[in-house]
Chain A
């Protein structure tokens, strides 16, 4: 197993299901050593087993991205092991959908903490070593919803749009050190999350997608792999939309 990312280490949050799992697999397939996080020990074990079964170097580990101390500890450990990430994929995310008038403050706060604040925290922790190396790739998984909005997702849209703004600002700070910071914004992707939608909602959705199909996790992972590659070094502060034409900046 080897390729374009040989010798690199990729940290992927939310790596045990859906999009994150595929991102970990694809980056691993290209030779990166993978550290993928899950919120439960069972999830972490599943990641480790998954990677081993595919002959990919790396492991799953438990991480709550809202736990600052746990994130610092993970990065300190990785630096100690001489495996500080050269690629960071901030993928972990949650939804707490509710019309604004019914939204509870806890729903707002939880989504902002996991989807926005954690991106800031983890990027800050990882960029230190990237600065020393004069190399790094940070990819933040956002959403088409951050660009076009979606009824019932004001918290999620705010967090994702926030990440895009953060990405552009950070990209400017570190561009001179060969560190790029970009977003990949999936549209509607077949995952456990979208499988939960009802038929009518799904049909209405398909009407709006020029490509005529839902996206796949592979579509998203391929975009992430590009932005994680050494070849994408002149692309920074961007959002790469992977949505079948649903929304075109």
Chain B
């Protein structure tokens, strides 16, 4: 689990160009980390790539915070890492 959280945060840091300490679990991509709508689309693409999974648009729209991203990825990761 920790591993997933760290990897998600690393992607967020790289994708949004923010500092690691800003990326708390509760942080909202738009409200706290300054992402615009295109940033959030790109972030989901980056997560898909990092975790080798596909996040459907309906699900992607619900991922607004770091914790929600961690939860989604943890629940949908390919089983080999589970």
Contacts and interface: CB of A to CB of B under 8 A. Distances in A.
Interface residues of B, number: 4
Interface string A156-184: 00000000000000000110110000000
A132 B48 CA distance: 12
Nearest to A131: B42
B68 to A, nearest CB: 22
Contact of B45 (A128, A173, A174, A176): A128
Interface in B28-67: 38, 41-42, 45
Interface string B9-38: 000000000000000000000000000001
B39 to A, nearest CB: 9
Nearest to B37: A173
Interface string A110-154: 000000000000000000100110000000000000000000000
Nearest to A174: B38
B38 A177 contact: yes
Contacts of A128: 45
Contacts of B41: 131
B41 to A, nearest CB: 8
Contacts of B45: 128, 131-132
A132 B38 CA distance: 12
A131 B15 CA distance: 12
B47 to A, nearest CB: 13
Contacts of B38: 131, 173-174, 176-177
A131 B36 CA distance: 14
A176 B41 CA distance: 14
B27 to A, nearest CB: 22
A144 to B, nearest CB: 32
Interface of B: 38, 41-42, 45
* Those 8 A-B pairs whose CB atoms lie nearest each other, nearest first: A131-B42, A173-B38, A128-B45, A132-B45, A131-B45, A176-B38, A174-B38, A177-B38
11 contacts: A128-B45, A131-B38, A131-B41, A131-B42, A131-B45, A132-B42, A132-B45, A173-B38, A174-B38, A176-B38, A177-B38
